[in-house]
Amino acid sequence: MEYEYSLPSGSVAETPGADDGYDWVPGPWGECSDVCGGGHRSRAIHCQLRSSLERVPDYLCAPRRRPADNETCNAEPCRVGDWHPSRTHLSIKHLNAPSSLQL
């Protein structure tokens, strides 16, 4: 029994030489989504050929070595009065107010 396969042109990447390979390249981190209390930020990641720095499809890079593309930032607790345009209210997380006080 014999099998024959056809693949579209360009669908198979060449194996890099001994001195070459593929690397994940992280872009710069974006701005944090919040100034305190735990925001998030993200960045673009792409795969490139080490010798030419040419961008290549992500499947050519080792998935387990891919750097994180998002993280928590500004995790410190907010203080009373902290405000940022992304927040819709002032922080009152650390007020020691009686539980009967209506805010």
Q: For residue 79, what pLDDT band results from cuts at 50, 70 and 90?
A: confident
Query: 72: which strand partners?
Result: 40
Q: What is the 3-class SS of 64-100, one letter each residue?
A: HHCCCCEEEECCCCCCCCCCCCCCCCCCCCCCCCCCC
pTM of the model: 0.60
Q: For residue 101, what pLDDT band results from cuts at 50, 70 and 90?
A: very low
Q: For residue 96, what pLDDT band results from cuts at 50, 70 and 90?
A: very low
Mean pLDDT for 84-100 is 49
Indicate whether 60 pLDDT > 80: yes
Domain boundaries, the chain: 22-73
What is the Cα–Cα distance from 19 to 6, expressed in whole angstroms? Answer: 30
